[in-house]
Amino acid sequence: NLIVVLTVLKHHQLRQPCNYYIASLAVSDFLIGIVYPIYNISHLEKVREISEKLGNWSVCRVIVCEVLALEIGSSYHLVAITVTRYIAIVYPLRYHIWVTTKTTAIAIAVIWILSQGSSLIMYTMYEPDRPVKLCRYEMIFPVTHVIILLVIQLFIPLAVMLALYVKIARIARQQAKVIAIQQACIIGNVGSKNGIIKNELKSTVMVSLLLGCFTLSWTPMIIFFFYTITCSNQPCTTNRYVRATVRILLYLNSSVNVFIYAGRLTEFRKRIKADMSGCFNKCFPIWRVKPLKKTNTEMNHVSSSLSRITLNGPIDATLETEHVS
């Protein structure tokens, strides 16, 4: 997540509205990776010095509020990215009118404000019915909060993304068929038709992957919350491995987002690879990554360029590298 943010900040070519959403999503997921371990440490019952202090309601309230606020923000960043893709496919001529740097900044600000505000209202104004010993969501909040969480964090984002992606896939399929027919008639190339259909299938698989990851991450946690809060024996005892697994699935979504959204963009991949290679070469000069071999034309051009720069003696390595680049 940090690599994605730094890549967008470093490269001017990546400073586009859709990439701003991806960078903001990476910030949200990065903060989840910082806050959630604190929440997880509070579950260490055997280390009472830690669990009792973090289990204090005044402290636990802040931790739970921030964890859930960041999760809400992460979900609606995915919705915002989906909306921009929907506009790009369905209204391509209006995309640059509707999706601008200004509207993107406003949308990102609204997502952060609403996610933090809604979590603040829901969880700071609530007072638990029984003393809080451990900072666990399922041991503190009633079923009403789980229903609200279910609607806000799962049903609404999933319904919006599913509806938009279905329309995106349908329109993309129609466009692929039209282009394939035109190229087959004009060029008479069956291979190009197969290539277009293959790309269309890849897009459909990507849509399924996006929705599948989101659903797989959230559904087990919601079911676990419902079971824990509504079971007959309170406080409800659950298997610790089940409890750990559902949480791992939920927060795994915060790390998978980067690979799904940023990793599938060609420009992002190129910039990240270049930055990582440069960083590796500086940190480990012994195992320096060799550049790709240049063609004869490129080598002649480089040689002539260097000959114009070099006057007497060896050329400075930094100057040579910058000029060749």
User: pLDDT by residue (tens digit) across 141-150?
Assistant: 777 777 887 8
Q: Which residues of 39-73 are buried (b: 16+ CB within 10 A; e: fewer)?
A: beebbeeeeeeebeebbeeeebbbbbbbbbbbbbb
Q: Tell me: the pLDDT tens digits for 291-318?
A: 544 444 444 444 444 443 333 343 333 3
Residue 221's H or E segment, with its range, is helix 190-230
288 inside domain? no
Residue 178, both tokens: 């039209």
Residue 102's pLDDT band, with cuts at 50, 70 and 90, is: very high
Q: What is the pLDDT of residue 313?
A: 40
Same domain assignment for residues 172 and 300: no
Residue 108, both tokens: 């990102």
How many domains, in total, are found in the chain?
A: 2
Q: What is the pTM of this model?
A: 0.74
Give residue 52's domain range.
2-280
Highest averaged pLDDT of the listed ranges 34-48, 57-71, 94-108, 179-193? 94-108
Measure the N-to-C terminal CA separation of the chain; round to a whole number of Å. Answer: 27
Same domain assignment for residues 63 and 176: yes
Q: What is the pLDDT of residue 194?
A: 53
Is residue 23 scored above 80 in pLDDT?
yes
Same domain assignment for residues 312 and 219: no
pLDDT average, residue stretch 229-254? 78
63 inside domain? yes
72 inside domain? yes
CA angle 204, 208, 212 (to 5 degrees): 170
289 inside domain? no
pLDDT average, residue stretch 24-42? 86
Amino acid at 93: L
285 inside domain? no
For residue 88, give the nearest of 150, 137, 21 by alpha carbon.
21
Same domain assignment for residues 225 and 313: no
10 inside domain? yes
Same domain assignment for residues 55 and 114: yes
Residue 131's pLDDT band, with cuts at 50, 70 and 90, is: low
- CATH number at 56 reads 1.20.1070.10
Is residue 120 scored above 50 in pLDDT?
yes
Q: What is the pLDDT of residue 314?
A: 38
Residue 205's pLDDT band, with cuts at 50, 70 and 90, is: low
Q: What is the pLDDT of residue 112?
A: 95
204 inside domain? yes
Please report, to the nearest 10 degrees, the dihedral formed by the alpha carbons of residues 85, 112, 271, 14 taken in order.
60
Q: What is the pLDDT of residue 51?
A: 66
The whole-angstrom separation of Cα 29 and Cα 24 is 9
Peptide bond into 92 cis (omega under 30): no
The whole-angstrom separation of Cα 172 and Cα 166 is 10
Same domain assignment for residues 299 and 234: no
The whole-angstrom separation of Cα 237 and Cα 214 is 27
Same domain assignment for residues 52 and 87: yes
Same domain assignment for residues 190 and 319: no
Name every residue whose Cβ is closer than 8 Å to that of residue 150 and which is 6 or more positions away in sequence. 222
Q: Other CB atoms closer than 10 Å to residue 18's CB: what's the count? A: 18
The whole-angstrom separation of Cα 154 and Cα 211 is 11
Q: For 91-189, where are the alpha helices, taking DSSP H only?
A: 95-98, 101-124, 137-140, 143-150, 156-186
Same domain assignment for residues 251 and 104: yes
Q: Tell me: the pLDDT tens digits for 37-60?
A: 888 777 776 666 676 676 677 777
Is residue 268 scored above 60 in pLDDT?
yes
Residue 280's pLDDT band, with cuts at 50, 70 and 90, is: confident
Q: What is the pLDDT of residue 232?
A: 63
Same domain assignment for residues 320 and 201: no
Same domain assignment for residues 161 and 299: no
Q: How far is CA 138 from the centre of its chain?
A: 26
Question: For all residues of the chain together, what is the average pLDDT?
Answer: 74
Is residue 106 scored above 70 in pLDDT?
yes
The whole-angstrom separation of Cα 136 and Cα 224 is 12
pLDDT average, residue stretch 186-207? 53
Same domain assignment for residues 194 and 304: no
